[in-house]
Amino acid sequence: MKTLLHLTSSIFGDGGQSSRLAAEFVAAQPGAKVIARDLARNPVPHLDAERFGAFLSKPEGRSPAQQRVLEESDALVAELKASDTIVLGLPMYNFGVPSQLKAWFDHVARAGVTFKYTDKGSVGLLTGKQAYVFAARGGLYAGTPKDTQTSYVREFLAFLGITAVKFVYAEGLAISEASKTQSLAAARNALRALVQPETIAA
Ligand SMILES: Cc1cc2nc3c(=O)[nH]c(=O)nc-3n(C[C@H](O)[C@H](O)[C@H](O)COP(=O)(O)O)c2cc1C
């Protein structure tokens, strides 16, 4: 059975446009086991030196507080490892990814666990997974240098070994009602085109 990690990062929860698209994609995967994680509703704390220190701590010298941090991170990593498919709702806020998503990134990037350093550079350890990203934006950025999100998210996932990543964009949502309607319809078409081969392959 296919396992999907469904990540929501809109501050508007299920009502966010990125959330709705991601949820529609997940709903179109019959029979899949879904691990749902809403990063806005249940935020991962921001990484600080204390928390990062817990990642580096040796079991024998680990404090109870460090152990708790490690367990939180381990739980997030376990969800990723257990999934064949990652479905991410990705809003743009102030030209970047939601800080809640960045905090999650900071807790799943773990040396020796999700990536490792070698003589030839870093190697991602989470291979063989497919990711789908549903990006919602007020303005228009896709395919231009202003789209910092796509390269950043792609690069981060690749760092962990997740190189098969497909993006669907709903853009221009704040430009006008007509632009919003048209963009959401185009995003749904792109979504359906992604679902079709998946369903056939399953
Ligand atoms: C706090 C905030 C900041 C935003 N910043 C941007 C931005 O920098 N560029 C942009 O195109 N849209 C921006 N928007 C519009 C959102 O990208 C748009 O509302 C989108 O639907 C957000 O995804 P969501 O509905 O899944 O939360 C912003 C919206 C909010 C609430």
DSSP string, 100-154: HHHHHHHHH--BTTTEEEETTEEEES--S-EEEEEEE-SS--TTSTT-HHHHHHH
Please tell me what DSSP assigns to residue 16.
S
Distance in angstroms (rounded) separating the CA atoms of residues 148 and 132: 17
Q: For residue 36, give the H/E element and its range.
A: strand 33-38
In this prediction, residue 1 carries a pLDDT of 84
Distance in angstroms (rounded) separating the CA atoms of residues 105 and 7: 12
90 lines ligand 1 (CB under 6 A): no
Weakly modelled stretches of the chain, pLDDT under 50: 200
Nearest CA to ligand 1 atom 1: 93
172 lines ligand 1 (CB under 6 A): no
Query: At residue 170, what are phi and psi to the nearest 5 degrees?
Result: -120, 105
Measured in Å, residue 183 CA sits from the centre of ligand 1 at 14
Q: How far is CA 57 from CA 49, 162, 173, in A?
A: 12, 26, 45
In this prediction, residue 197 carries a pLDDT of 63
In this prediction, residue 198 carries a pLDDT of 52
Distance separating the N- and C-terminal Cα atoms of the chain: 9
Which is nearest to 5 in space by CA: 86, 126, 75, 104?
A: 86
- pTM of the shown model: 0.96
Q: Please report the atom of ligand 1 found closest to the CA of residue 89.
A: 26
In this prediction, residue 170 carries a pLDDT of 98
Distance in angstroms (rounded) separating the CA atoms of residues 177 and 48: 41
